[in-house]
Structure 1
Amino acid sequence: MLASYLGACGYTVTIADNGRKGLEVATSGGVFDLILLDVMMPEMDGFDVLKNLRKTLLTPVLMLTARGDDYDRILGLELGADDYLPKPFNHRELAARIKAILRRLELTVSAAQQQDLQVHGLRLSVARQHVSCDGQQVTLTGTEFSILHLLMLSAGQLVTKNEISEKVLGKKMMTFDRSIDMHVSNLRKKIAAVDAVERIKTIRGSGYMLLIG
């Protein structure tokens, strides 16, 4: 049903009926703009697929999770998912989420001629989709890269969670939505693995600020 709906929306869809086959298809050399990943699948669940995908691929992943199951959503974000959608869902909302992720990628490509950004030991190249901290490469997902890019553009200033959600995820911040917190937490951990100096400050109840030194 999803394949038929998305096909009618103009997308080319490749289907895998179990997790192991999905991982094989995704990593066999084909180029995909987005991976729609269910948590509950035979042979290999969505979490194991995502863990294996993130070893080699930064392709955006939209996870489908059980409604009300915060554990699934949080774990998916921790493992590198770009967004999640609880089931059951409206097909139009799914299409909107997909468009938001693909729009973000298009904006990133169109900004490829921007100069590199450098703030507090961090260097970000939009053209090369590359981030380094004190000269050491930091490997980020597409969502983490976009969040860091936004924070670096506003270095020393508060960036609200709602602004991050709208500009990066393409949706308004919902009550009790922890997705931004999880993406920033992952971003912090990856930077801290290179240098433990605090670079992203939490402004309680509001958002985040990239420290300038």
Structure 2
Amino acid sequence: MTVNFGILCFPRVQQLDLTGPFEVFASARGATAHLVWKDLTPVRSATGLMLQPTVTFADAPAFDVLCVPGGSGVNPLLEDEETLDFIRRQSAGARFVTSVCTGALVLGAAGLLKGKRATTHWDSHQFLANFGAIPEQGRVVRDGNVFTAGGVTSGIDFGLAVVAELFGREEAETIQLYMEYAPQPPFDAGTPETAPAAIVEKARQSLAPSRQAKVEILERLGLS
């Protein structure tokens, strides 16, 4: 039986949030991975990579796994009822409801994180509680059928964890080996706790406009 994965593919998505888990999901035997959006017009990611949605909201099959990536394009989705309604409908029948990075905030805006332990990108972790979630640090956090992954690269870890649940550990480990996923980064600057203070401040300043936009959205939604 085919397992249908649906990954939201929206303007200014963070491409690795999407392509990391897509690579894992699409490599699983018996899996079909879909990129879903309102229409089939090519989408430009936050860093400029063009992505092609493969199915529309109207034509999407029932997904076994729904995944919402993050990126700078997340902010408009927090107030996009068409997208939020689609997520709610798909989530009602999905085996797993999932996110990568700030995609967790979209799940929150859809009302799917209330009372759930969840994580997201370190710069947006503070917003999880606004949606009724229980913030938890971690590369991958699972609460029932909800999986949330931390920032960007954690989407690969998350993808492997989901494949292990659906297809077994052997399949997940085989995919990990295909991908030669054995991270050995050249610098120990991947979290605010390990990065030099000056680097953390530089990153925070770069992300400040998007963070402030989220604050203003939450105020409009009465969630501040």
TM-score (norm 1): 0.28
Q: Higher relative contact order at CA 8 Å, sep ≥6: structure 1 or structure 2? A: 2
